[in-house]
Amino acid sequence: MSSSTQSVLFGVVAALAAVAGLVVAQLHFGSKTPSIESGTLLSKPRPIAEFQLVDSAGHPFGRSRLEGQWTLIFTGFTYCPDVCPNTLAVLKGVKARLDEAKVPLQVVFVSVDPERDTGERLGLYTHYFNPDFIGATGNRDNLDSLTRSLSLIYAKVPGTTPDSYTMDHSAALVLVNPQAEVAGYFLPPHRPEALVRDLENVVRRTPAR
């Protein structure tokens, strides 16, 4: 073998090794943040600051209630007759499918309308879709703190009468990992089939310890 052939061969081997390295890296890092079809996963999950809400049963609902399990959070309000029941009905179907597949997921409906949403009203509304769904709300400061951590927005918008105001709210679902960090977002329109596939994929890959 001439030295020029040797150096060409070396070059080819080096190139192959480089490609193999890229493939391995892609597989490795790719497996850390699987791609999902109905939203985006963050490459680096973001911690959620401490917050203090109250669930519909009157128990404190803070950061610790997000630890140790995967959670899906949706913000809304019970005077919402269309988008919120649409989304909660989708989540009802998704949750049933995940339960069948033994994929654990906590679903939390956070009301951004504490003026009208009492614990009792929030409980009736949330449990109508699934008795395991958690309804929670809190004062402005705590809602602001949580929605800021989740990168969600909400705003009160006056209606035709003082008590028929409405709430604008982010339509995304927030996926929270068992370390109470924002892991990703599911964006509307929420399609049950895709959500089930994505959630199974993500939760199975990194089960709660």
Partner 1 sequence: MIRPLARAAVLAGLAAMLASAGARADCRGLQVAEPWIRSAPPGAMALAAYAELRNTGPAPLTISGLAAADFERAELHRNLIDNGVARMRAVPRLTLAPGEALTLAPGGYHLMLLRPRRALAAGAASRIEFLCDDDRSAVTFVLRSPD
- Give residues in contact with partner 1 (CB under 8 A): 76, 78-83, 85-86, 89, 116, 120-121, 124-129, 153, 157, 159-161, 164, 166, 168-172, 187-189
Measured from the CB atom, is 172 or 175 closer to partner 1?
172
Q: Which is nearer to partner 1, 32 or 46 (CB)?
A: 46
Task: Give min distance, CB of 39 to partner 1, in A.
Answer: 11
Of 136 and 203, the one with the shorter C-beta distance to partner 1 is 136
Nearest approach, Cβ of 45 to partner 1 (angstroms)? Answer: 20
Long-range pairs, 79-88, Cβ under 8 A, ≥24: 79/113, 79/116, 79/166, 79/167, 80/166, 80/167, 83/171, 84/109, 85/129, 87/171, 87/173, 87/188, 87/190, 88/126, 88/129, 88/133
Cα(203)–Cα(205) distance, integer angstroms:
5
DSSP tag of 206: S
Q: How far is the CB of 172 from partner 1 (least distance, A)?
A: 6
What is the nearest approach in angstroms of partner 1 to the Cβ of residue 21?
38
Q: Which DSSP state fits 189?
A: S
Bridge partner residues of 108 (DSSP): 73, 134
Residue 93: count other Cβ atoms within 10 Å of its Cβ: 15
Residue 34 beta carbon to partner 1: minimum distance, rounded to whole angstroms? 22
Residue whose CB is less far from partner 1, 62 or 149: 149
CB of 73 to partner 1, least distance (A): 15
Listing DSSP states for 18-81 in one string gives: HHHHHHHHHHHHHHHS---SSEEEEEEEEEPPP-EEEETTS-EEEGGGGBTS-EEEEEE-TT--
Please identify, using beta-carbon distances, which residue of 190 and 203 lies nearer to partner 1.
Answer: 190
Specify burial of residue 69 (Cβ count, 10 A radius: 0-12, 13-18, 19+). middle
Q: Tell me whether residue 12 or residue 187 sits nearer to partner 1 (CB atom).
A: 187
